[in-house]
Chains A and B, each alone.
Chain A
Amino acid sequence: MMWKWIAGALCLGFLFSCNATRVVKPLDKGEWQVGADVGGPVVNGSVLPLSGLHFAHGMHERLSFFGGLHTTALAFQTLQLDFGWCYGVAKQKGFRPGVSINTVFNPMLGLRSGAFRLYPEISPNLYWEIGEKHMIYAGMANWFDPTYGKVEIGKGYIWNPAFQLGYRLQLKRINLCAEYKLLNANKDLKIPQATVNTWTGKGAQGFYISFNYRLNTIK
């Protein structure tokens, strides 16, 4: 039964939920990171174990490029990618947080039917580095659905906001991240014969873990 409700929930669209924020603070110029992530929304009290692979590259001091492949989605015959840029708006100064904005594109291609969707995303984040190894951050991921009009039955939404709160342990080569997300925070999500609870009564909550490996250390 465990697999049944997991897969059942997956099939209901949660497979395409967000991932942990790829980059919060722009990487050093020339830096490369690769990594893997796992996690997903909580359904029936358990986290759906969705997986992905990703990379990030510091293009210059304020701008990083990143991308990811959602491997669980791939196993379900949907090629889901994400790619985007993290732009550093302001650096941290004391208690004043650093500010960054991620502009992301989330394309999905159904390998069964050829159906295609593209969801642009804009995600501002605030971050506080505590010493050299620790970072906490908070942000808001805004997914936009330009094809919301294709929803024939049910409700289409052009704006799909999520809120995230995360922690990063930044070691010399390894960067570990744990993130909590409140997904689709403005709507009621319904899954047949499954329960999606949040403390706000709206949307779903997700937990994500991300592992990043620095291929080169610049500093």
Chain B
Amino acid sequence: MKNLIYFLLAMVLVSCDVDSAMLFGETVKTYEFNNAALPADYAYQVDESKVEVFTLTSDDNGNKAEIYCLYLGDKSKIATDTVILYCHGNGPNLQVFWERLAQLANLGGKNHYGILAYDYRGYGLSQGKSTGMGTMLADVDACLQWLKDKGLTGDRFILHGESLGSIPGTYVAGYSQILSPTKYIFEVPQSTADAIGEDASGLSIPSSFLTDFNFDLYTAMKGFKGSLLWMHGTKDQTAPIENARKVYDVFEGKYKESIIVEGAPHGLREYMGIEPWGEDILNFIRMK
């Protein structure tokens, strides 16, 4: 009996959490943000002199980590340029998003927009470990502060949150005290942590049963007052469209539009084609 009690006590003390297990970050030895890492016939080759990798210190209430960032563009012109902050999806690291970052930078002309992207803690070369909302918000806040310090203002700030990136993205859009975007690209987004558990189990199981990674984009979106572009596929099994629609519906800001692609899975850009994907984003950014 004593052994059984010790066993049960040990199970409680193990205190497993799935925060980090939900985040599929993998390290890399080095980044290759150059044209050689793009497809040979890729239409969106970059000016390699305008590629810079640097680190920022992310501080989650004293839990500090150096995160790796990529800036595509002329840093000295951030005070006058339009800049897109890209919060990437749950891929292993920033390298796998290099193609789309190069495309975003070249929308509307060669290196037309400044692009800032970063790896979450534990992804790529970024130090530390992503453990939920605390670290994710600390990481994005470090980027926002850097952009603000370089002179970016909200009226030239475009935010792009893709899949996992929609979590820090929507919190920035709805709550940020550092820098608020004028436009938000909400691509194949998640909705709430509870919704993920409910979709998996069919039961009304709260996410707090298993994790502290409790996010709620439904509530966060209510706070966004700018313009919103929602892009989603109807066959998305990773981020169900009906959940994202509820987040989209609750938005009451300046303007919103949705691009719903019939039959598209979670890999929306690849399914719809990179050109239409880029055109839709460019049209949204240029819209007055």
Contact = CB atoms under 8 A, between A and B. Distances in A.
Interface residues of A, number: 53
B204 A151 contact: yes
Contacts of B247: 153
A200 interface: no
B196 A12 contact: yes
A75 B199 contact: no
A156 B242 CA distance: 13
Interface string A98-119: 0000000000101111010101
Among A112, A115, A155, the one with the most B-chain Cβ atoms within 10 Å of its Cβ is A112
A90 interface: no
A190 B203 contact: no
B252 interface: no
A145 B205 CA distance: 10
Interface stretch (A14-22, A24-32, A127-135, A167-175): A14-22
A4 B21 CA distance: 5
Interface string A136-170: 00000001010111111111110010000000000
Among B200, B208, B237, the one with the most A-chain Cβ atoms within 10 Å of its Cβ is B200
B262 to A, nearest CB: 18
Given A11-B197, A74-B11, A76-B17, A145 B210 contact: no
B76 interface: no
B71 interface: no
B218 A11 contact: no
Contact of A11 (B4, B21, B240): B21
Given A16-B205, A110-B208, A193-B238, A155 B21 contact: no
Contacts of A189: 199-202
A217 interface: no
Contact of A156 (B12, B191, B204): B204
Contacts of A157: 202-203
Contacts of A6: 21
A75 B11 contact: yes
Contacts of B206: 110, 113, 115, 117, 150
B12 A160 contact: no
Contacts of B210: 10-11, 15, 76-78
Contact of B198 (A15, A75, A151): A151
A7 interface: yes
A8 interface: yes
Contacts of B14: 75
Interface residues of B, number: 45
B218 A113 contact: no
Nearest to A111: B12
B60 to A, nearest CB: 19
B8 A11 contact: no
B63 interface: no
Given A8-B18, A74-B11, A152 B205 contact: no
B239 interface: yes
A14 B11 CA distance: 18
Contacts of B18: 7-8, 10-11, 76
A13 B204 CA distance: 9
Interface string A170-193: 000000000000001001011111
Nearest to B246: A153
A117 B11 contact: no
Contacts of B195: 151-154
B27 interface: no
B201 A75 contact: no
A78 B211 CA distance: 10
A142 B207 CA distance: 23
A110 B203 contact: no
A193 B204 contact: no
A13 B198 contact: yes
18 contacts: A8-B21, A11-B18, A11-B211, A13-B199, A13-B201, A78-B210, A108-B209, A110-B206, A110-B208, A111-B12, A115-B208, A115-B209, A143-B203, A148-B204, A150-B206, A153-B246, A156-B198, A160-B202
Interface of A: 3-4, 6-17, 53, 69, 71, 73-78, 108, 110-113, 115, 117, 119, 143, 145, 147-157, 160, 184, 187, 189-193, 203
Instruction: Rank and list the top 5 A-B pairs by shortest CB-CB distance, nearest first.
Output: A13-B201, A7-B21, A12-B200, A11-B18, A113-B208
